[in-house]
Amino acid sequence: MKIRRFLAGLPDLNPIQQRNFRNVELDAIAVGLANAAAPFLPVFLTRLGASSFQVGLLSSLPALTGLILALPMGQFLQRQRNIVRWFSLSRMGYILGYGLIGVLSLLMPSGFRVVGILLLWALATIPQTMLSITFSVVMNAVAGPHHRFDLMTRRWSILGVTTSVAVFLIGQLLDRIAFPLNYQVVFTVLGLAGILSYYFSSQIVLPDMPVPDEPEARGLKERLAAYLHILRNERAFLSFVARRFIFLTGSALVTPIFPLYFVRVVHASDGWIATINTAQTAILMVGYFFWSAQSRRRGTRWILLWTTFGVGVYPVLVALTTRVELITLFAGIAGIFQAGLNLVFFDELMKRVPIEYSASFVALAQELQYVSSMVAPVLGTSLADWLGLQAALWIGGAVQLVGFALFATMDRAGVG
């Protein structure tokens, strides 16, 4: 796909679809700015003296909230015809959480900052849970069944470029301002991107979402029984999300280990940590275009296997070296595979979701992801304290490679 065609839009979209694509792309710029804060939050906590367990809570707290709220939110959203409103509001609320961390950490006593930041992060996980459900539903509705790779390639490549540039600039800024004011200023400014995101995402125009015809008087027990009956008949969905659960457990296990490894073992500066993250995100745009083209030539099963293998090997390779140059190279290569994984996981999940029950089924898929995201980071940091950071990275990589093997055994008929 050429850059000119990328900017001009897809020729087979009607004017409303073209505007929706454009608003999704513009929203990606705002989200990309906000996402630049994400890799620095665990580093901020680490430099404030947080324990491994507390750093692990950054991944576990969203999972805990999602585990409690995902299914009820899915049931609520299933009855909402205007899903865009909830998508844009939840996005803004989540991003503004970074701004609150920046502002309020300025006012907190130094001894309370770690706990205070974790409490603020816990509040931000409420809109984050709703966002995780509405995002897939809205993006699928905007893309339709034939343009998922096209839409997400555009969105995530723009987001990746924006984030990589912002992360690199932030890394240079952090080295030039005294700690902790440097992090507080960065989070405060990036949190304002939530307002920009709300403006563009709320401009998306979609038909009213289908609402299942259920008697108003039906109780919780009856609704749950009907939901389980529908779910049992969706074996392709269950097969895919079970395998994805294994793979994402390995990914979540190593998530809090990377910043700890970079700071405590590699002794990387903020500038080098920014460079590593920039290498991984800057290459995403290339990866998205590459895998989007491969999806038309080879189908998605080929992409699914190569990307799960490539991402699974990354933590193993990182654990074999303390040279920041090599880690940066590995991060760039992993970014290519991560781009394809993002695309194929989204596409394969939405293929298996009944449109009339999209919010409920996406909520269940997120619920399983939250289980792994809640348990695995704490397990990872515990393994790190017990066996060492390198061993924790090896174990996480091994779990991801088990997920790759399970996808390799999945029925070919169940994968596009």
CA distances from 36 to 33, 124, 274, 278 (A): 5, 16, 10, 9
Q: What is the model's pLDDT at position 277?
A: 80
Single-letter amino acid code for the residue at 92: M
| pLDDT recorded at residue 364 | 84
Give the per-residue pLDDT at 1.
Answer: 45
By residue count, the chain amounts to 416
Tokens of 284: 């995403």
**What's the sign of the alpha-carbon dihedral 331, 250, 34, 132?**
positive
| The pLDDT of residue 289 | 86
Sign of CA dihedral 295, 296, 298, 301: positive
In angstroms, rounded to a whole number, what is the distance separating the alpha carbons of residues 187 and 96? 9
pLDDT average, residue stretch 306-333: 94
Q: Which amino acid is at 47?
A: R
How many CA atoms, within 13 angstroms, populate the side-chain half-sphere of residue 217? 0
Lowest mean pLDDT among 54-68, 115-129, 218-232, 240-254: 218-232
The token pair at 111 is 């001894």
The b-or-e profile of 21-53 (16+ CB within 10 A means b, else e) is bebbbbbbbbbbbbbbbebbbbbbbbbbebebe
Nearest to 257 by CA among 217, 218, 315: 315
Q: What is the pTM of this model?
A: 0.76
Torsion of CA 287, 290, 295, 299, to 10 degrees: -90
Question: For the chain, what percent of residues have pLDDT higher than 70?
Answer: 91
Q: Given this model, what pLDDT does residue 9 score?
A: 54
Residue-level pLDDT at 271: 81
Question: How far is Cα 177 from Cα 166, in angstroms, rounded to an integer?
Answer: 16
Residue among 245, 296, 299, 293 at smallest CA distance from 413: 299
Q: For residues 310 and 220, which has the higher predicted lDDT (pLDDT)?
A: 310
**Among the listed residues 289, 280, 249, 288, the one whose alpha carbon sits nearest the alpha carbon of residue 404:** 249
**Do the beta carbons of residue 160 and residue 284 sit within 8 Å?**
yes
Which pLDDT score, from 0 to 100, does residue 8 have?
Answer: 46
Both structure tokens of 65: 């909230």
- What pLDDT does residue 91 have? 94
Between 62 and 25, residue with greater pLDDT: 25
What is the structure's pLDDT at 395?
A: 96
Q: Contacts from 381-389 at CB under 8 Å and sequence distance 24+?
A: 381/52, 381/53, 381/55, 381/56, 381/256, 381/257, 381/260, 382/53, 383/253, 384/52, 384/257, 384/260, 385/52, 389/257, 389/260, 389/261, 389/264, 389/265, 389/319
Summarised one tens digit per residue, pLDDT across range 335-394 is 999 999 999 998 898 888 887 778 888 888 888 888 887 788 889 989 999 999 999 999
What pLDDT was estimated at residue 108?
A: 84
Answer with the residue of higher pLDDT: 167 or 11: 167
